[in-house]
């Protein structure tokens, strides 16, 4: 495990073996990082955030509680995972909002998914396994497994395989093939599943 001196890591957090926390990053109390995770320069990991093994959170990303990241998740530079559906600094009576005046909701990012630079995921949403969110996208609804989404608001523009490359149409209807691995996928009613060969 490597935590640089300028990082602000709570002693009440849990950092897995082989993980690195770089310059000016902050890991709050109760955060749980798995093994072999990387938290880049200036990144923020909120209290109670749970990250699986082999995750990468790039420079200046903001992962607010109660986010949940599966194994092998990639969070690009300056990505924001929000936690307040209807944010306000003050209550309706004009008083300053406190932690007791709202309930945080989280973003769930499932195994192997990747979120590109400066994308924003507005909680509560789930990013499915192996999905890819394009750089700069704004995600406001759940993203299916293997989906490639882009835009504001984000919409599915294709499918990606586990290697991250866009899939191409297969020989039969509703089948897709990964150009990197040759794996085959079947599309059914707007969802994609990997075929077991």
Give me the pLDDT at residue 197, please.
63
> What structural domains does the chain harbor?
2-160 (2.160.10.10), 163-197 (no CATH)
Longest dimension (CA), the chain: 62
User: What phi, psi does 101 have (nearest 5°)?
Assistant: -95, 5
Residues with Cβ within 8 Å of 85's Cβ and at least 6 positions away in sequence, in order, are 105, 122, 123, 124
Residue 40 has pLDDT above 90, yes or no: yes
What span, in angstroms and rounded, lies between the C-alpha atoms of 104 and 122?
Answer: 12
DSSP 3-state of 191: strand
Residue-wise pLDDT tens digits, 86-124: 899 999 999 999 988 889 999 999 999 999 999 999 999
Average pLDDT score over residue span 128-146: 98
Q: What percent of the chain has pLDDT over 90?
A: 92
Question: What global pTM score does this model have?
Answer: 0.95
Mean pLDDT of the chain: 96
Residue 147 has pLDDT above 80, yes or no: yes
DSSP 3-state of 100: helix
Residue with tokens 């994308």: 119
DSSP H or E segment with residue 115 = strand 114-115
């Amino acid at each position: 495990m490597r935590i640089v001196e300028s990082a602000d890591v709570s002693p009440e957090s849990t950092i897995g073996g082989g993980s690195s926390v770089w310059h000016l990053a902050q890991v709050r109390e109760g955060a749980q990082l798995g093994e072999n995770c990387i938290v880049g320069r200036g990144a923020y990991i909120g209290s109670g955030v749970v990250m699986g093994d082999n995750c990468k959170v790039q420079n200046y990303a903001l992962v607010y509680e109660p986010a949940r990241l599966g194994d092998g998740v990639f969070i690009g530079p300056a990505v924001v995972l929000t936690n307040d559906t209807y944010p306000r600094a003050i209550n309706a009576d004009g008083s300053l909002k406190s932690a007791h005046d709202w309930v945080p909701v989280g973003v769930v990012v499932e195994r192997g998914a990747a979120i590109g630079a400066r994308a924003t995921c507005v909680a509560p949403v789930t990013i499915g396994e192996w999905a890819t969110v394009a750089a700069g996208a704004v995600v406001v609804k759940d993203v299916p497994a293997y989906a490639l989404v882009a835009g504001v608001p984000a919409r599915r523009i294709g499918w990606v395989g586990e290697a991250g490359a866009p899939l191409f149409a297969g020989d039969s209807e509703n089948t897709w093939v990964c150009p990197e691995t040759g794996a085959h996928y079947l599309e059914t009613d707007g969802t994609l599943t990997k075929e077991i060969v």
